[in-house]
């Protein structure tokens, strides 16, 4: 009888061997042959590996499958992982319950700018980003596309237009109001309030300790926070972890303001408090840099993200169409076509109506701002010209406008087309 190795993985059996065992007692393969040398059975004893024998990394891509009965009494000490690391990794990968809208900030990458203009007073420039000023012409806010961090083609640029002497009762900031539907799960104002993390890219012509604040809708609860800009005119990423507020009144799952996130530009002493602690009132941190005190000073922001958890995850990029639709819940710019239809209810100057439909349902019935080019034009079949337009009624998805002509004209209950609106716009706003 002989067992001859033909190759490292092949043996040749001769002289009617009836059985072969390969391996030691811990891991054996047994083969049984009949009188003609045909294998009649093969067994492989169980292989057991204790958890303590596994060291280093387990690479998920190399795991084919794991059945429930294979791993028993498997435990991993909490000390093996940084607090929140698994949770935040799952969020970053969009896994399970963490998939969807991690970032509570809308337009955090500053891509959407439907209004398309800079702003020098209180109001909106880039979509969802509000600027508050006590007095106008102290700063300019605009979209900026030059020399931004990788992955962020746009940023918001704030430029000081004055060397402002900040009075004790004045304040200036840029920030975002987040709807209650998008913050209610954070459970602020309860014992279950969740920690949140704010991350962002920032660049300034000034250096030092800058400030911001998280606030409730009523502005009577605030968490002033600070961040430090080390090098002038250099992009730096910052991370701020904020414990959930267990006190105060926070708007729940409604379409009102659930939370305010602000970046301070200049704040008088009446609006200052100790940083990194919840306090009453409307407060920003004491001792922060006042950007507006330096004429021409700049502050850039992009990649702004606010999420549940104690550790920042990579910025959540959403499809452009998704981000635009999120913005359009609060502001839409309707662009007229070459043919818009006007209904003539009765033969008179004012009994004409024009309807438009929103592409995205809005937060609430909007206000309307008509571009100046919409007056003075003609309507086919009417005499005279359009003298004014006024909002008559609105819902979250439809707007009715009264069109007043310069003369009494038209036949009752007919539709007339208007080509003079072509390219004109209607701004629809239901901002918080």
Please report, for the domain that includes residue 156, its CATH number.
Answer: 2.60.120.260
In a domain, 349, yes or no: yes
Residue 91 has pLDDT above 60, yes or no: no
Q: Which helix (H) or strand (E) holds 308?
A: strand 298-308
SS3 category, 267: strand
Do residues 232 and 139 both lie within one domain?
yes
Contact 214, 259 (CB under 8 A): yes
Tell whether 133 and 281 lie within a shared domain. Answer: yes
Whether 27 is in a domain gets the answer yes
Query: To 5 degrees, how large is the angle CA 346–CA 347–CA 351?
Result: 50
- The predicted pLDDT at position 80 comes to 46
Q: Does 151 share its domain with 216?
A: yes
Structure tokens belonging to residue 35: 């009188």
Encoded tokens for 260: 């305010």
Please report whether residue 98 resides in a domain: no
pLDDT (average), residues 398-416: 95
> How confident is the model at residue 20, as a pLDDT?
54
Q: Are residues 205 and 323 in the same domain?
A: yes
Domain assignment of residue 93, yes or no = no
CB 393 within 8 A of CB 334: no
* pLDDT level of residue 21 (50, 70, 90 thresholds): low
**pLDDT on residue 47:** 43
Q: 339 lies in a domain?
A: yes
pLDDT in tens, 320-367: 999 999 999 999 999 999 999 999 998 888 889 999 999 999 999 999
Inside any domain, residue 56:
no
Query: How many Å apart are CA 201 and CA 284, to the nearest integer?
Result: 20
Are the C-beta atoms of 374 and 388 separated by less than 8 Å? no
Residue with the bigger pLDDT between 332 and 67: it is 332
Q: Which residue has the tokens 């239809």?
A: 341
Asked whether residue 193 falls in the same domain as residue 271, the answer is: yes
Look at residues 327, 353, 375 and tell me which one is the last residue of a structural domain.
327
Q: Is there a single domain that holds both residue 315 and residue 360?
A: no
Average pLDDT for the chain: 86
Give 123-142 pLDDT, tens digit per residue: 998 999 999 988 878 999 99
For the chain, how many structural domains are there in total? 3
Nearest-5° angle of CA 159, CA 165, CA 170?
A: 85
Q: Which residues contact 130 (CB under 8 A, 6 or more apart)?
A: 122, 123, 124, 174, 175, 176, 177, 431
pLDDT for res 27: 54
With 80 as the cut, is the pLDDT of residue 168 above it?
Answer: yes
> Environment class of residue 378 by beta-carbon count within 10 Å: exposed (0-12), middle (13-18) or buried (19+)?
middle
**Beta carbons of 317 and 362 less than 8 angstroms apart:** no
Q: Which two tokens stand for residue 52?
A: 């303590």
In three-state secondary structure terms, 367 is strand
Per-residue pLDDT band for 262 (boundaries 50, 70, 90) equals very high
- Of all residues in the chain, what percent carry a pLDDT higher than 90? 72
pLDDT grade for 121, boundaries at 50, 70 and 90? confident
User: Could you tell me if 317 and 337 lie in one domain?
Assistant: no
Q: Is residue 265 part of a domain?
A: yes
Q: Which residue has the tokens 């007056």?
A: 375
Looking at the structure, do residues 338 and 319 belong to the same domain, yes or no? no
Give residue 193's pLDDT: 98
The token pair at 158 is: 């704030």
Asked if residue 86 belongs to a domain, the reply is no
264 and 199 in one domain? yes
Same domain membership, residue 360 and residue 312: no
**Torsion of Cα atoms, 21 then 24 then 25 then 31, to 10°:** -20
Co-location of 207 and 336 in the same domain:
no
- Which of these ranges, 59-73, 159-173, 251-265, 277-291, has the smallest mean pLDDT? 59-73
Longest dimension (CA), the chain: 118
How far apart are the C-alpha atoms of 286 and 134, rounded to whole Å? 19
Q: Which of 283, 300, 327 is the last residue of a domain?
A: 327
Segment of 9-13, 33-37, 228-232 carrying the highest mean pLDDT = 228-232
- The whole domain housing 23 covers 2-44
CB atoms within 10 A of CB 296: 10
205 and 312 both lie in a single domain: yes
Last residue of a domain, one of 327, 347, 377: 327
Q: Please list, in sequence order, all residues whose beta carbon lies within 8 angstroms of the beta carbon of residue 263, skipping any fewer than 6 positions away.
A: 173, 174, 175, 210, 211, 212, 299, 301
């Amino acid at each position: 009888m002989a067992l001859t190795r033909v190759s490292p993985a092949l043996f040749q059996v001769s002289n009617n061997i009836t059985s072969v065992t390969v391996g030691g007692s811990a891991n054996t393969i047994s083969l049984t042959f009949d009188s003609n040398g045909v294998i009649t059975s093969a067994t492989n004893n169980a292989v057991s590996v204790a958890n303590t024998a596994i060291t280093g990394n387990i690479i998920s891509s190399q795991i084919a499958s794991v059945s429930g009965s294979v791993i028993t009494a498997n435990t991993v000490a909490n000390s093996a992982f940084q607090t929140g690391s698994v949770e935040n990794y799952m969020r970053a990968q969009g896994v399970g319950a963490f998939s969807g809208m991690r970032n509570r900030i809308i337009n955090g990458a500053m891509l959407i700018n439907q209004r398309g203009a800079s702003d020098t007073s209180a109001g909106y420039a880039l979509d969802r980003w509000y600027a508050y000023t006590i007095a106008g012409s102290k700063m300019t806010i605009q979209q900026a596309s030059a020399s931004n961090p990788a992955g962020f083609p746009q940023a918001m640029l704030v430029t000081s237009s004055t060397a402002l002497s900040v009075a004790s009762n004045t304040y200036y900031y840029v920030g975002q109001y987040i709807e209650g539907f998008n913050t209610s799960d954070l459970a602020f104002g309860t014992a279950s309030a969740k920690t949140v993390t704010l991350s962002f890219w920032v660049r300034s012509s000034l250096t030092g300790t800058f400030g911001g604040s998280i606030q409730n809708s009523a502005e009577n609860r605030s968490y002033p926070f600070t961040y430090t800009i080390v090098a002038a005119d250099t992009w730096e990423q910052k991370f701020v972890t904020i414990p959930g507020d267990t006190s105060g009144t926070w708007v729940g799952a409604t379409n009102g303001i659930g939370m305010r996130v602000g970046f301070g530009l200049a704040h008088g002493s009446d609006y200052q408090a100790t940083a990194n602690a919840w306090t009453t009132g409307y407060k920003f941190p004491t001792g922060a840099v006042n950007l507006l005190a330096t004429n021409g000073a700049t502050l850039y922001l992009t990649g702004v993200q606010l999420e549940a958890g104690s550790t920042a995850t990579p910025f959540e990029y959403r499809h452009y169409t998704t981000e635009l639709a999120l913005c359009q819940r609060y502001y839409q710019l309707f662009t007229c076509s070459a043919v818009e239809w006007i209904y003539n209810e009765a033969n008179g100057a004012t009994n004409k109506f024009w309807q438009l439909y929103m592409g995205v349902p809005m937060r609430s019935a909007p206000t309307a701002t008509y571009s100046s080019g919409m007056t003075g034009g003609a309507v086919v079949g009417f005499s005279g010209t359009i003298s004014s337009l006024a909002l008559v009624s609105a819902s979250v998805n439809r707007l009715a406008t009264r069109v007043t002509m310069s003369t009494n004209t038209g036949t009752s209950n007919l539709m007339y087309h208007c080509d003079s609106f072509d390219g004109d716009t209607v701004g629809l706003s239901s901002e918080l």
